[in-house]
Structure formats: structure tokens, C-alpha cells
Amino acid sequence: MVKVAFIGLGVMGYPMAGHLAVAGHDVTVYNRTADKAESWLEAYADKADGELYMAPTPAGAAADADIVFACVGADKDVAEVCIGEFGAFDAMKEGAIFVDHTTASANCARAMGAAAAEKGLSFIDAPISGGEAGAVNGALTVMCGGDADAFAKAEPVIQAYAKSVKLLGGVGAGQLTKMVNQICIAGAVQGLAEALNFAMEAGLDAKAVVDVISKGAAQSWQMDNRAETMIDGKFDFGFAVDWMRKDLGIVLTEANAMGVSLPVTALVDQFYCDVQKMGGNRNDTSSLIRRFRG
């Protein structure tokens, strides 16, 4: 067991840090809102095999940790907890590893990787997929970029909340892989939304249609997990439209810098904007069907 810190106890970070505690690691947590950290300590006090602490700053949490994990909002938040005032990097011991689970830009990952290296630290960008349910159930997919030796040390610890952990290349590769993931999801959800709307407009029993076509080539994770709730107009299942638009903004910015065309992704991003205008900011990503069904 190792000493770890976890920075950011949001929808994803709260249960992820909990899995580390249950796995027997000594865990120190930091959250911008202190009462969330206090709540976490209370929730896991009787479940943990190791020692649990909370700290008033990222630096306080990171001091003496072998691995520091973070799951915050965006590029600016990553920079703040890493190199801002009371940032983790200034307090981390030489040779420690910082694992960032935030979905951020590849440029942010590379900048933090360079800053970490200057201080004798290792940085792994490790965005995640699987949503709130994946975090709660310890079944996340973790896409990593960084040094192979650092990854080898961090991987067994990450497995406390992951079903799949893979190193895809150097720093930044994890974020680029997450962008590929979001491109795939955007197209798949839009296709499913169009198909279900077509079925209903044609007067078919949409659920019966899904039951049939899900046995063939049309099958997908989105169909298996979201088709029925889309038909029922229920959109409270995790990853929100606001978060997806943030992610797609990162994707489109990166693609523009690369000179790569993403016409479908750009169009679906605007469709998500339509959902936001309908008040669906906190709906899950399957709410694209609202553009057709209201």
C-alpha cells in the first residue's frame, strides 16, 4: 500500500478516492469546498483499511504522497492545483507521481508534464471514460500518457477504480485518446437519436425495434444503455451536456490546430448547443433526441 492524495471530490473524484481508501491506501483528500472533504472522510471512515486525512490546500494534500491524483474541471483548474499558489508540485517529494484524471487539452498536459519534470516529478495525463456509474462501480476506462516507469508504478493503484488502464504514449497521449473517445460518442448518440425518432415517427414500437436491431450490426453501448431511456424521455444518467460541450470544444480546438476536419463532430457540438438552449444543460448526453421530440 502507498500514500496517496486525491485532489477534487466531484461526481467522479469522490467515489474514485473512496475506492483508493477501501483498497487500503493512506489517502489525503483536498477539495475546494472543505465540507465536501469532511463528508468524504465521514463516508469512508468505517470502510478504509488505511489512514484518511483532509488538507486545506493541494500542497498540503500532496506533501509526502507517493502518488497524487487529481480530477478537476478544466485546463485552468489543472494549472491551479499543480503550479498555482499552494499548488501540489511545490510540495511533492522528488520522484513522486502526479496523475491527472481531468479531461483537459493535450497542451495543458504537456505543459504540466514539463513543469513536473523540472521538479524531479513524473506526470501522467489519465482522462477517464465510464461516467458516474463507472466511478461508483470501480469500472472506469483510463487512457494514459506519460513515462513508462511512472505508469508501471501508478497502474496497480489506479486499478482500484478501473476496469481498463492503458499507456498510449508520452505525456498528452491520454488526452488525445480521450478526444478520440468523445468524437466516437458524439456521432454514435446522434445516429441513435435520429434512428429512434425515425422509428417513432414511422409508428413503430421503438423499444421492440431496438430489441431486434441490437442483436445485429447496429448494436452499440449507447443503444444497450440509453435507447430505452431516450424513448422514455429520461435524461438523468450521468455525463451532462455542459461537460460534453466542454470536451468537444477541446476536440475541435485540437483538430483545428492539427488541420484535421471533423464535420460530424462540429455539427453534433452545435446540436448540443441547441439542447442547452432548451434548458438541457444538466441532461445527460443522450438528450440529443430532445431536438426531435422536445
Decide the pairing of beta strands 140-144 and 128-129.
Answer: antiparallel
Angle at 149 between CA 145 and CA 150, to 5 degrees: 60
Measured CA distances, 79 to 61, 162, 187, 270 (Å):
16, 25, 31, 28
Q: Which of 153, 178, 215, 234 is catalytic?
A: 178
CB atoms closer than 10 angstroms to residue 1: 12
Catalytic residue flag (residue 178): yes
- Radius of gyration over every alpha carbon of the chain, rounded to an integer in angstroms: 20
Measured CA distances, 225 to 15, 154, 228 (Å):
21, 31, 7
Please tell me the distance from the alpha carbon of residue 106 to that of residue 84, in angstroms, as a whole number: 19
Dihedral sign for Cα 107, 118, 67, 54, please: negative
Q: Which active-site residues does the annotation give?
A: 178
